[in-house]
Structure 1
């Protein structure tokens, strides 16, 4: 074969172009092209007497001799690289290819073996002495990089056992984050604060690891609450179970639960556990669940308070006033106005699965939930669809009470519930003495309508388009409760 060196270096140049330009774009096709180029280079070398297992010929022409030596060394290194790529592309699972640990370690071993083989076969150096010297050098280096080597071997264990993979949400030593990278030295976590936390593999291998992404469709949310020991546990557990019922985002399977966790000298710890189907929902559900627990405990007469301090006794009068103050509709009322309005509240008890409000009904009273859980649903062509749940401290029916607007939703109890109601006549009497309160309520009602849209309170056709929603509501309230314009203008 004429000009084997030129042909060999030409094949190497084509391989470099394919490698650097990533042509073609498919990894598997590119690998087969590079393997074909390697076999072509092997054919050129062996057919021209340039065997990679011996020194290159042309000893009398120093330029040709060293060119042949370089080409033979390139053959060894090229073969090592293609062997690593073949293992990575054809044999390793996709998850391992993303983590890069096995590819990097195997590639380093193969390249080291190829370098020793090239020194021994091509350059005919004393490999035994080199191996002996490298062994002593390896001992020195091993002592110097002990921690790094422990990370490497721990990384091999982690990748073999696969306690987590890239994309999983894990907790390592009480630090929670999303796995974004795994390499031969460390695991990179993206924390909830948007920071990157690097956990050495040696630390991760010894730590307790909680993988929140397995199983993939169930994620737990847990809260621990401390209650005074004088409160009956059954009362606390009943309130916490109602709180769990108050969220329609929580999964029914596995079933959520509340339990008494442990007792201390000054308190009893209760744990509330629920499950969601998406990791991204955990924060919102955790906050919602804590709010629900607080409201249902308060409704049951159990307050989260400083331990060791006796809880104040609430009278029936105080209970009604406290309930009114938790309703945003009455935020603008003074203490005297709240006290007067609280006297007109009437108590109503309902069993579970009782319909409180039917669709297209104009409520003639304002209902405030004292305890229990209610479901709010709309009737669609496919059947009823729940849109929300109502718990202690929440009110409904204000649109009908103030402006005579029909509600387009159905409201029914999910658990035994206690409601306090304010009748239309009592509200009318109150608004005649405080017409400015009617305006403030209309402002809040208009704001809530903008937030809710037409689902719960659609606007009737008689509304004039040139009037704002607030002006239209003011007119409806004035007409429904027979308020005087002179009072309203004050």
Structure 2
């Protein structure tokens, strides 16, 4: 037994026959654990297990005295393969430790990929040269000299192009923006969806714009997402010279505040400009909503100005709100209020017509209505806002249904009534409605019945959404 142990081949054979399987088993379990965690180090461990360790086992065997006669080529080939594998594994491991595990926002995270690729390329060339010098006794000095001369020639020939690329790379390394940011440059606005060493890809809402990083580095741009205040969409409008500026500004702010895409922690603002002009600034949740918000605002402010009897763009005409149309509207709702034809005509002095566009709030939570609106055409969604800025739909109201039933009880509503399309309504002040109820008590009973029905529907809708109706609160929208 002592003779066998003393043989030069014994311990290498033990290492290969026992150590190699144990190493492969250990690396397999390690790789599986990394793969389950989704670690990017798993491929590196797999390369060590499948290639580096088996080649190392072969080297252990052929490196023993007498295992290979003479200075053959195959041992050098195997040593070359082993050296190249060590280089690849080492570079990948360093790249993983330095860059892949970098903390977000650190210099390693902002380090341009092209720079790390160039560094890896240089180390690979140096490693290959070292392997050939050590294994094959190759003279690599001439190779490096030729490589240096070639680099100088290519650099001089491409100095302009390389300069643009390098300036773009330094812009990426500086990281004045990141994925998801909105930037504005050269009259174009877009969201950054991809950044690489050559170009920045912007989603403009009308296609992807590929902008060279060198172009951004050589010019100026505005990062709309890095401002301490939300990005504000600005629109200028004109009103009639007889319109009180205070009322106009209140109208503009109230209309802008009701748009869902407006930033919740900032208030819209309006300013008076010379010549009957006004500027409204609307802070946005997302700069990408700029066009949508301005379109929505411009649409809604037209309807709001007509309801407030203000003259947007100096327009003094209103062919829709006519006495004849108002009389027709009162006759339409007279059965709902148990009115006789003569009684309905007598309300014309106190009633008025209003029109809303899709998305406008006819009644908001927290309001104590002083008027009740009866739908003439269109539909209105009655719902309840939730604490997480959601909206639970209760029921859909149609022609002859009323919005603002809590006007009679002088109570605060917790519901929101939103126009689903263009909605025409006739408005009755609460004093007029009180007189109608006094003359026709059946109207009060119908209002109470409808209020209870809406409360029942609200409880069902809230329970289905996992919410609950506040105790003792009415939902009479």
TM-score normalised to the size of structure 1? 0.54
- Structure 1 residue 126: deviation in Å? 4.7
CA distance in 2, matches of 1:253, 1:323: 45
Is the alpha carbon distance of 1:354 and 1:101 closer, same or farther for their aligned partners in structure 2, counting shifts above 3 Å? closer
Q: Which residue of 1 aligns with 2:90?
A: 79
Maintained 8 Å contact 1:222/1:273: yes
Is the alpha carbon distance of 1:133 and 1:19 closer, same or farther for their aligned partners in structure 2, counting shifts above 3 Å? farther
Which segments of 5 or more consecutive residues in structure 2 lack a partner in the other structure?
A: 1-8, 333-343, 353-365, 377-381, 415-425, 437-449, 459-477
CA distance in 1, matches of 2:163, 2:350: 71
CA distance in 2, matches of 1:355, 1:117: 80
Equivalent residues in 2 for 1:31-46 (5 A)? 33=45
Of the candidates 61, 73, 76, which is equivalent to residue 62 of structure 1? 73
Equivalent residues in 2 for 1:296-315 (5 A)? 296-299=304-307, 302-305=310-313, 311=314, 313=316
- Structure 1 residue 378: deviation in Å? 6.4
SS of structure 2 residue aligned to 1:76: helix
Q: Which residue of 1 aligns with 2:121?
A: 111
- Structure 1 residue 173: deviation in Å? 3.4
Q: Are 2:296 and 1:288 aligned? A: yes
Q: Which residue of 2 aligns with 1:102?
A: 112
CA distance in 2, matches of 1:205, 1:321: 61
Q: Are 2:184 and 1:176 aligned? A: no
Maintained 8 Å contact 1:186/1:198: yes
- Structure 1 residue 288: deviation in Å? 3.2
Q: Are 2:162 and 1:149 aligned? A: yes
- Structure 1 residue 105: deviation in Å? 2.0
Maintained 8 Å contact 2:113/2:197: no
CA distance in 2, matches of 1:282, 1:330: 43
Is the alpha carbon distance of 1:313 and 1:280 closer, same or farther for their aligned partners in structure 2, counting shifts above 3 Å? closer
Of the candidates 187, 205, 221, which is equivalent to residue 217 of structure 2? 205
Q: Which residue of 1 aligns with 2:322?
A: 321
Q: Are 2:223 and 1:191 aligned? A: no
Is the alpha carbon distance of 1:178 and 1:106 closer, same or farther for their aligned partners in structure 2, counting shifts above 3 Å? same
Q: What RMSD, in angstroms, separates the aligned Cα atoms of the two structures?
A: 6.3
Is the alpha carbon distance of 1:280 and 1:302 closer, same or farther for their aligned partners in structure 2, counting shifts above 3 Å? same
- Structure 1 residue 46: deviation in Å? 10
Per-residue Cα deviation, 1:433-467 (whole angstroms, up to 9, x for no partner): xxxxxxxxxxxxxxxx9xxxx759979xxxxxxxx
Maintained 8 Å contact 1:31/1:85: no
Of the candidates 151, 156, 173, which is equivalent to residue 160 of structure 1? 173
SS of structure 1 residue aligned to 2:283: strand
Q: Which residue of 2 aligns with 1:486?
A: none
Maintained 8 Å contact 1:408/1:455: no
Equivalent residues in 2 for 1:235-254 (5 A)? 236-247=248-259, 250-251=262-263, 253-254=265-266
Which segments of 5 or more consecutive residues in structure 1 lack a partner in the other structure?
A: 51-56, 306-310, 332-339, 369-375, 389-394, 413-418, 428-448, 460-490
Is the alpha carbon distance of 1:103 and 1:400 closer, same or farther for their aligned partners in structure 2, counting shifts above 3 Å? closer
SS of structure 1 residue aligned to 2:147: helix
Q: Are 2:268 and 1:256 aligned? A: yes
Q: Which residue of 2 aligns with 1:436?
A: none
Is the alpha carbon distance of 1:43 and 1:74 closer, same or farther for their aligned partners in structure 2, counting shifts above 3 Å? closer
- Structure 1 residue 257: deviation in Å? 0.5
Q: Which residue of 2 aligns with 1:272?
A: 280
Per-residue Cα deviation, 1:194-223 (whole angstroms, up to 9, x for no partner): x3322211123244444444469x743413
- Structure 1 residue 344: deviation in Å? 1.8
Maintained 8 Å contact 1:227/1:268: yes
Q: Which residue of 2 aligns with 1:474?
A: none
Maintained 8 Å contact 1:377/1:411: no
SS of structure 1 residue aligned to 2:270: strand
SS of structure 1 residue aligned to 2:179: coil
Is the alpha carbon distance of 1:270 and 1:177 closer, same or farther for their aligned partners in structure 2, counting shifts above 3 Å? same
CA distance in 1, matches of 2:170, 2:265: 34
Is the alpha carbon distance of 1:150 and 1:89 closer, same or farther for their aligned partners in structure 2, counting shifts above 3 Å? same
CA distance in 1, matches of 2:262, 2:241: 30
Of the candidates 354, 361, 368, which is equivalent to residue 355 of structure 1? 368
Is the alpha carbon distance of 1:190 and 1:301 closer, same or farther for their aligned partners in structure 2, counting shifts above 3 Å? same
SS of structure 1 residue aligned to 2:251: helix
- Structure 1 residue 260: deviation in Å? 3.9
SS of structure 1 residue aligned to 2:166: helix
Q: Which residue of 1 aligns with 2:461?
A: none
CA distance in 1, matches of 2:95, 2:322: 76
CA distance in 2, matches of 1:20, 1:323: 83
Maintained 8 Å contact 1:151/1:200: no
Maintained 8 Å contact 1:101/1:183: no
- Structure 1 residue 115: deviation in Å? 1.0
CA distance in 2, matches of 1:347, 1:328: 10
SS of structure 2 residue aligned to 1:253: coil
Is the alpha carbon distance of 1:58 and 1:142 closer, same or farther for their aligned partners in structure 2, counting shifts above 3 Å? farther
Q: Which residue of 1 aligns with 2:235?
A: 224
- Structure 1 residue 328: deviation in Å? 11
Maintained 8 Å contact 1:76/1:115: no
